[in-house]
């Protein structure tokens, strides 16, 4: 097992009725910026619960944060927050809203010019406004980590940042808030969480059996519970299990002491930036081809994954690896998520565009072994056609 330092200060309040706890979690006398997305919280009762819990607080609302939060939108929130002199932020929504709030929290006190430098130049975050979250869409794990991914529409870039200062102070996870989600979003959430686990698990062995078993337990639970959620979206136990799986998939626990990959995410971000394809669907496109392309360097873990998660034990090693990748593809497809670029009307011209963007940015050394270069990205995407 590799050396590691683990830090996660996020307080989790899980279960039905927990939104009422906002009254004790948000500091007394705070001036609160409440940020949310397209307005679904005003249709499903979440907005009313939040406002009831915040009765007596000074609350400034900012809605309209996109599914891939845009820098341009978030900067309007920054301007509003400064104008209203807010000192606390509450994210109410899915991972995109929470990601957006992390950027807002870091951008408000930023003194280095354009806050986009936090993403584009990796300028360290030295100050951030405190914030909490009410999660309404399980997928990204942003409710219990410090990372964020932001899109800049002007340049069609989708870039990430993270800081110890951008952990939520608390996150409320009430499974009932997911009951009204469209099936598309439920499917996306399951695939997003599933791929988050694989990016930390399908690398190479370092004798970390606990981390492996924890990762496998999340994968198996998602495999079992995902289809149930599509059949009965209002089943509380199913919703609770998926919500907690998505949080555990990316709160840092399963990545400690082990190598991680993230090449699938890096490549997938470009498909979202260029074509607006749902994040989870870009992962479902890229991951199978990347696993096939890197089958030799990931061999041991692919075989382990196939046996422990999918029960694949028959055939040669190569046959078992292919069966394992195909089982993953079949799972994604069973959730209504297509796994080829052609399914999204994306052709070779986009591949060349991504290659050019990576070359211009100097992107290289992706993957757990830092052995995925730009020509490899081109091959992986070509295999995804």
Element at 62 (helix H, strand E): strand 58-62
Provide mean pLDDT across the span 324-350: 97
Q: Is the pLDDT of residue 345 over 90?
A: yes
How far is Cα of residue 197 from the mean position of the Cα atoms in its chain?
A: 11
| Dihedral (CA of 138, 140, 146, 150) sign | negative
Provide mean pLDDT across the span 337-361: 96
Give 1-54 pLDDT, tens digit per residue: 999 999 999 999 999 999 999 999 999 999 999 999 988 999 899 999 999 999
Average pLDDT of every residue of the chain: 97
Residue 39 has a pLDDT of: 83
C-beta of residue 67 within 8 angstroms of C-beta of residue 37? yes
- Which of 17, 10, 6, 4 is closest to 236 using CA atoms? 17
Tokens of 238: 């199913």
Give 90-128 pLDDT, tens digit per residue: 999 999 999 999 999 999 999 999 999 999 999 999 999
Distances (CA, A) of 264 to 67, 111, 123, 287: 19, 33, 24, 6
């Amino acid at each position: 097992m590799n050396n590691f330092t683990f830090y996660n200060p996020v307080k989790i309040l899980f279960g039905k009725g927990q939104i009422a706890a906002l009254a004790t979690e948000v500091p007394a006398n705070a001036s609160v910026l409440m940020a949310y997305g397209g307005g679904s919280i005003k249709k499903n009762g979440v907005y009313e619960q939040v406002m009831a819990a915040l009765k007596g607080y000074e609350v400034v609302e900012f809605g309209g944060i996109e599914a891939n939060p845009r820098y341009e939108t978030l900067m309007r929130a920054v301007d509003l927050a400064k104008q209203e002199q807010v000192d606390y932020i509450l994210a109410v929504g899915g991972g995109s809203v929470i990601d957006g709030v992390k950027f807002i929290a870091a951008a408000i006190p930023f003194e280095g010019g354009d806050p986009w430098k936090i993403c584009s130049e990796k300028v360290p975050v030295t100050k951030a406004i405190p914030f909490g979250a009410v999660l309404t869409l399980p997928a990204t794990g942003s409710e219990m980590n410090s990372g964020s991914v932001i899109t800049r529409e002007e340049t069609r870039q989708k870039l990430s940042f993270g800081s110890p200062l951008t952990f939520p102070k608390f996150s409320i996870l009430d499974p009932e808030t997911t009951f009204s989600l469209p099936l598309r979003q439920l499917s996306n959430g399951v695939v997003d969480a599933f791929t988050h686990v694989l990016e930390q698990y399908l690398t190479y062995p370092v004798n970390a059996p606990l981390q492996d078993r924890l990762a496998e337990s999340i994968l198996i639970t998602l495999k079992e519970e995902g289809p149930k959620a599509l059949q009965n979206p209002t089943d509380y136990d199913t919703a609770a299990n998926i919500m907690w799986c998505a949080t555990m998939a990316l709160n840092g626990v399963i990545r400690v002491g082990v190598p991680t990959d993230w090449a699938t995410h890096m490549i997938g971000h470009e498909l979202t930036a260029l074509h607006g394809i749902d994040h989870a669907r870009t992962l479902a496109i890229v991951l199978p081809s990347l696993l096939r392309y890197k089958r030799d360097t990931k061999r041991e873990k692919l075989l382990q994954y196939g046996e422990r998660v999918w029960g694949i034990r028959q055939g040669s090693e190569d046959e078992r690896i292919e069966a394992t990748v195909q089982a993953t593809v079949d799972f994604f497809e069973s959730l209504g998520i297509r796994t080829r670029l052609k399914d999204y009307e994306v052709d070779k011209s986009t591949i060349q565009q991504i290659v050019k963007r990576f070359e211009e940015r100097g992107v290289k050394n992706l993957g757990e072994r830092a052995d995925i270069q730009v020509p490899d990205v081109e091959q992986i995407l070509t295999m995804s056609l």
